[in-house]
Structure 1
Amino acid sequence: MSWKLRIILILLVFFADLFSFHQIRRGKMSLNHSLLWILISIVLLLIAVFPSIAFWLAGMMGIGTPVNLVFLFFAFFSIILFIYLTNVISKGDRINRRLVQKVALMERELREMRKTESKGDAAENE
């Protein structure tokens, strides 16, 4: 692995972690959602600092060069991230749907209560 790629990976990890920690501090990203990013950063940092790991893994997996291993790693990470985010969005959608249904039922009950109150007030005025 070339020293240029190693420097790029180290800088990428540094700026990604800096951005993630900034987002957590500002409250835009929760800590449990950022753990996946932190894990990926650690793996990339290990590969950048100890490129022999990348050579060994590439040889074990039958991949021609460690750079291709890094690209494969990013592709694998992207797929995992897409699946994870799809699950988070689906869970939020289910919760949102239940809340909308509960609010609709409560509004219906409130309208019915107001109707019965207005009928009761009209009967008292007569």
Structure 2
Amino acid sequence: MSIIIRVCAAAFFLLFLGFVLGLVSKGKLQLKYSLLWMVLCAAILVCDAFPSIPSWFSGLLGFVTTSNFILIVAIVILFAICLSLSVAVSRLVIAVKNLTQRVALLEKDLEKKIDL
């Protein structure tokens, strides 16, 4: 990989890391969800600085080319992110349903007390 591509990649991921930190500081992204993105950016920056690391891992796991290894790792990471976000959304849907039911019960009780 040429030095220009490596420098551009490093600049992009540093900007992305700054963007994530900005979202956290503004309260638009919770810290627990941002940690995954920060760790991912740090790992990419380390692999960008030391390209022999992904090459070594790809050779160790039997990949013919490093790009295939990086693609598979990226797909696995994206699946993990999607799964974790799906779990979070599912929890929120259940919480909203429970809150809606509680509000409906409280409104019904309030209407009964007003009618008395």
Unmatched tracts of structure 1, length 5 or more: 117-126
The count of corresponding residues between Structure 1 and Structure 2 is 116
The superposition leaves residues 43-65 of structure 1 with CA deviations (integer Å, 9 ceiling, x where unpaired) of 11111011110110110112222
The aligned counterpart of 1:33 is 33
The aligned counterpart of 2:89 is 89
Q: Give, as a single letter, the amino acid of the residue that structure 1 aligns with 2:30.
A: S
Let me know the Cα RMSD of the aligned residues.
Answer: 1.4
Unmatched tracts of structure 2, length 5 or more: none
**How far off its partner does 1:4 sit?**
4.1
- Name the CA distance, whole Å, in 2 between partners of 1:100 and 1:65: 53
2:91 pairs with 1:111:
no
Report 1:1-126 matches (<5 A): 1-116=1-116
The superposition leaves residues 91-126 of structure 1 with CA deviations (integer Å, 9 ceiling, x where unpaired) of 11111111000000000000111111xxxxxxxxxx
TM-score relative to the length of structure 1 = 0.85
TM-score relative to the length of structure 2 = 0.92
Q: Which has the higher contact order (CA 8 A, sep 6+)?
A: 1
The superposition leaves residues 11-65 of structure 1 with CA deviations (integer Å, 9 ceiling, x where unpaired) of 2321210110111111110111100001101111111011110110110112222
